Structure 1
Amino acid sequence: MRIIERYVLFPGRHHLLTRFQAEYLHRLAAATEATIVWAVTSANHDNTRRNPVPYHRREAAIERFSLVSGLRSLVVPVFDTAPTDAFAEVTLKSIAVATGIELTPADTVVACSTPEVAKLYELLGFPIALAEAEPLLPVTPERPFDVLLRLAAGDESWRELAHPATIDVYQRYRLVDQVRTVVNDPLVGDEGGLTATRDYRTYVEAFADAAERKWTAVRRHVRPGRIVDIGCGAGSLLELADREPGLHESDLIGVEVARHLYQECLHKKAQGVFHNANVYFYQRNVLGGAIFADRSVDTTLTFALTHEIWSYGSRRESLLQFARRIFDHTAPGGVWINSDVCGPDDRGRQVLIWLADDDGDNPAQPRHDLADLDAEAVREYVSGLSTRARLDQFAVDFAFPFTFEAPEQGMVRIELGPAMDFLTRKDYVDNWLSETKEQFCGLSFAEWAELLAEVGFELDPASAPIRNDWVIDNRIAPVADLMDLDGQPLDWPTTHLLAVARRPHNS
């Protein structure tokens, strides 16, 4: 007679284990000496609000938890998938591939307190144990993620609810501060990106296309030694630095906050793209805390990054904090090279702009529901608008409110700053809802110089405001004219800056 081995399938992210879980699972498994199968979901995600702890640390805590609690366990990583009604089937298949065990309703009970997930297993015929959601419990226990949020909020009572195995692993690997930093990060979304609407595929392509031009512009200012690219995207710039004979003994370090781009960097390294053995990547947000020791970095590179810190953070306050962090980790004589968009010096000046209205549709009113549409529908709608109508839509979606007047058809009276924010962004239809959350013209070059001096940097003479004439000639001038309030033509203003900021040798 075949003895049916019993299992308890316990799916979840398992970032934090609780004392209640130990008692509950022990009771559940005791009668049949069942094996607990921990299906650790989002195993390929970490450093995000929803998934702040990497899988290998979660696995370590589960193994220690099992030993202390006297439970027989199997721990199986389950990689993240797009939302699907087949989530339960995907998890069961992952377990079968990893362990050779095919769990069935005849030999397995599913422990799950999330009704939506429990229902998926129930539809497959599995009996359900509701864990924290059991209706007959004398007191409703806190769910693990709620305990983790206590930790993130600085509430030390989390230690009374967490299992000693979690506390031990968190302390040994210094995860308490990491969890607090990630969960409370003002810049990073739940899944490790700056926005939920960004198409990272197009960003990877754009970074790769522009990398050689960017590297050519800054190569002569790079100081060998420890070279850090913050906001490194998919690592395209570091690929070029890797090919420089004069930098072959340098450490090349990429820091990227967006999970999608960070994973692409790791993929490139695994594929042997980099020849320098000292190439490293970190998924970090510099605003969340120091990454590098003071005075330890020779060159810091930032490209198309600082406007995002301005936009998703607290404007100048966040930029000042970021600049101070870079100053602190820069070695005396070291350099911070920053290339980014930039506002005009007189961005508050009232100007007239004429905008073409015969190059697309001109609806009577802009839409207020684009956030409810999928990305392709947004792209199709915005790309079909005339330049003039696109300004109306931009005014609705832009996260930095502005006003304008329309004294006559096609003509608009507006401040120069928001005018250039619109004109330099109007063609970004593939990521419209992401781009409209960012402000390009937050600071002028003069204001940047003032901020860098406040931190302690000295501005190299190579620093300068820049006008991207290709963008002007090909994207803006064909559909727009810029004039003063008397109707006299004005030159197009600065669109970008290059700042080469050095830390003084005696600082």
Structure 2
Amino acid sequence: MIERVINSERFVLFPGRHHLLTRFQAEYLNRLAATGRTTIVWAVTSANHDNTRRNPVPYHRREAAIERFSLLSGLRSLVVPIFDAAPTDTFAEVTLKSIAVATGIELTPADTVVACSTPEVAKLYERLGFPIALVEAEPLLPVTPERPFDVLLRLAAGDVSWRELAHPATIDVFERYRLVDAVRTVVNDPLVGDEGGLTATRDYRTYVEAFADAAERKWAAVRRHVRPGRIVDIGCGAGSLLELADREPGLHESDLIGVEVARHLYQECLHKKAQGVFRNANVYFYQRNVLGGAIFTDRSVDTTLTFALTHEIWSYGRQRESLLQFARRIFDHTAPGGVWINSDVCGPDDRGQKVLLRLATDDGDNPAGPRRDLDPEEVRGYVSGLSTRARLDQFAVDFAFPFDFEAVDDQTVRIELGPAMDFLTRKDYVDNWLSETKEQFCGLSFAEWGELLAEAGFVLDPASTPIRNDWIIDNRIAPVASLTDERAQPLDWPTTHLFVVARRPHNS
């Protein structure tokens, strides 16, 4: 049992993410602490999150700024990390218990004021009997001050006035550790959501399982093209491919580097490393988005691997512009003679060709029309119960890249080949339907890929090739769909994937 500290000390509990500290906060906290022996208890929430839009600054940098803030402001402080947890009405109780465990101090309404400007959070402490100081939300202030995160957004937008509002402690730490550009990159990142994933609806458990299942097949395809030295897997998922590279005798002196943008997957990589999964001492993981800025110095990487990544850059960025930017970044960090190996989905050669697509109607329900109010909790059950033809109607509503089609009869539609293949290759992804429908698989054909890579400076190795995944055709598509031209002549199923080995010329 934790013993209570019994003396005349008073406390101000200041819960928050505390990514940026303001001059107003210094003035306000000094007024709260003006009488008696007062300690500010900084409960730094989301302490285990960083590099996300909601939490762009790592905890140890936030703590450093708070300590400097306290020194410059003449405040006595305790800084306590509060790890993120699922939303709960007992958030206040959890925070108080975490403080007690970390410091031995049990805060009570008799000796503690809670400083909090977020009404929903303040109510949780008020319910426990704590008096509340509303900080920026105080109703009697002559001027409503900007909240810290609003100042941070000024910084992210390139508005230099953030320096006038931020406390010198934050400015100092941000400048010394080069956090200004890092914050701008993360907050403005087109690929990363508020919590560090690509979409809020993605089920990362299924992705980890899929990565692990496919790792050996992927490694077998790329192994002979890998150049030893510095090997980087961008979008490394849970690190499954690097586990196989780690076992290669010919790569035991190479650096193996995983880059993953999704926080859930990045944390799984760190867990594996901590558990001793990798034998190579030179295995490293970074949570980064390559579009946000260079990660590696120019001409420093021998092999870059990307699997099932480039269609996400296309989909969540600015399509070809973002993909070309990504390719140029990889070219820049590739050593002369080095290689970029990319495996991903691919569009058919003639995406705009009009085709007749006949779809099964007897394999599920056929409602009068698509739903426009799908709830993430019910989407799997609803979509999985639809017929293939009805799923096309639902896909057209949910797909982030609008397309048109014309019903010829109850089973047949006239549609362009690109969106037809986007639907057919996605129709069975019911576990992550609302996530997958934000992505376009058929943005570029293999020939267009070649043009983009040449524009970035790469030369295609003869091993590069378009691929048709016949397992998907035979097991997922052909049993419920058929494809003809507008004269009703059968068409072969087109390319679904590509495998690219792109080399940087030795003399470049």
User: TM above 0.5, one fold?
Assistant: yes
Q: Aligned equivalents of 2:374 and 2:347: distance in 1?
A: 31
Return the alpha-carbon distance in structure 1 between the equivalents of residues 119 and 89 of structure 2: 13
After superposition, give the CA deviation of every residue in 1:259-312 in whole Å (9 maximum; x if it has no partner). 111111111111111111111111111011100000000000000000000000
Report the CA distance between 1:378 and its aligned residue.
Answer: 0.3
Separation in structure 2 between the aligned mates of residue 454 and residue 103 of structure 1, nearest angstrom: 62
Q: Deviations over 1:233-258 (max 9, x none)?
A: 11111111111110010000011111
1:142-191 CA-to-partner distances (Å, cap 9, x unmatched) read 11111111111111111111111111111110001100111111111111
Partner-residue secondary structure (3-state), 2:505: coil
Q: Which residue of 1 aligns with 2:352?
A: 348
Uncovered stretches (5+) of structure 2, i.e. residues with no partner? none
Report if aligned partners of 2:5, 2:105 keep a CA contact under 8 Å in 1.
no
SS at match of 1:437: coil
Question: What's the offset of the Cα at 1:3?
Answer: 8.9
SS of the residue 1:432 aligns to: helix
Tell me if the contact between 1:118 and 1:128 (Cα under 8 Å) persists in the aligned partners.
yes
Q: Which residue does 1:330 correspond to in 2?
A: 334
Instruction: Compute the displacement of 1:339 (Å).
Output: 0.1
Cα pair 2:5 2:104 within 8 Å, conserved: no
Q: What whole-Å deviation, never above 9, does each CA across 1:108-134 have from its counterpart, x for those lacking one?
A: 100011111111100110000111111
* Alpha-carbon distance between aligned partners in 2 of 1:405 and 1:373, rounded to the nearest angstrom: 24
Shift of 1:376: 3.9
Kept after mapping to 2: 8 A contact 1:379/1:430: yes
**1:195 and 1:270 mapped to 2: Cα distance?**
27
Q: Please name the residue that 1:504 is paired with.
A: 505
Task: State the SS of the aligned residue for 2:329.
Answer: helix
Instruction: Using the aligned pairs only, state the percent identity.
Output: 90
Shift, 1:98, TM fit:
1.2
Is this contact kept in 2: 1:457–1:504, CA < 8 A?
yes
Deviation, 1:23, is 1.2
Deviations 1:333-387 (Å, cap 9, x if unpaired)? 00000000000001110111111100000001110xxxx5543410000000000
Deviation at 1:454, TM superposition (A): 0.9
Deviation, 1:30, is 2.0
Structure 1 CA distance, aligned partners of 2:207 and 2:47? Answer: 25
SS at match of 2:123: helix
Displacement of 1:84 after TM fit? 1.5
Partner of 2:405: 404
Per-residue deviation, 1:82:
1.5
Separation in 2, partners of 1:134, 1:407: 64
| Conservation of the 8 A alpha-carbon contact between 2:330 and 2:340 | yes
Q: Note the C-alpha offset of 1:215.
A: 0.5
Matches of 2:139 and 2:393, distance apart in 1: 53
Take 2:77 and 2:326, find their aligned partners in 1: how far apart are those partners?
Answer: 45
Q: Tell me, what secondary structure is at the counterpart of 2:377? A: helix
SS at match of 1:353: strand
Whole-Å separation in 2 of the counterparts to 1:171 and 1:29: 29
Distance in 2, Cα, partners of 1:136 & 1:406: 63
Q: CA deviation at 1:58?
A: 0.2
CA distance in 2: counterparts of 1:105 and 1:251, whole angstroms: 54
Please give the alpha-carbon distance, in whole angstroms, between the structure 1 residues aligned to 2:473 and 2:389: 17
TM-score, normalised with respect to structure 2: 0.97
* 3-state SS, counterpart of residue 408 of structure 1: coil
Contact between 1:378 and 1:432, CA under 8 Å: does it hold in 2? Answer: yes
Residues in 1 aligned to 2:493 and 2:315: alpha-carbon distance in whole angstroms: 23
**Cα shift readout 1:58-112 (whole Å, capped 9, x = no counterpart):** 0011111111111111100011112221111111111111112111111110001
Q: Deviations over 1:200-219 (max 9, x none)?
A: 11111111110110010010
Q: Could you tell which deviates more after superposition, 496-505 or 107-116?
A: 107-116
The superposition leaves residues 28-57 of structure 1 with CA deviations (integer Å, 9 ceiling, x where unpaired) of 112022111000000011001110000000
**Separation in 2 of the partners of 1:310 and 1:289?**
17
Count residues in correspondence: 502
Tell me the CA shift for residue 459 of structure 1: 0.2
Give the Cα separation in 2 of the matches to 1:423 and 1:333.
38
8 A contact 2:5–2:106 mirrored in 1: no
> C-alpha deviations, 1:435-469, integer Å up to 9, x for none?
00000000000000011011110000000000001
Is the contact made by 2:65 and 2:169 (CA closer than 8 Å) also made in structure 1?
A: yes
Query: Unaligned regions of 5+ residues in structure 1, if any?
Result: none
Q: Is the 8 A contact 1:375 1:430 kept in 2?
A: no
2:69 and 2:167 in contact (8 A); partners too:
yes
Query: Over aligned residue pairs, what C-alpha RMSD do you find?
Result: 1.1
Match of 2:126, SS state, is helix
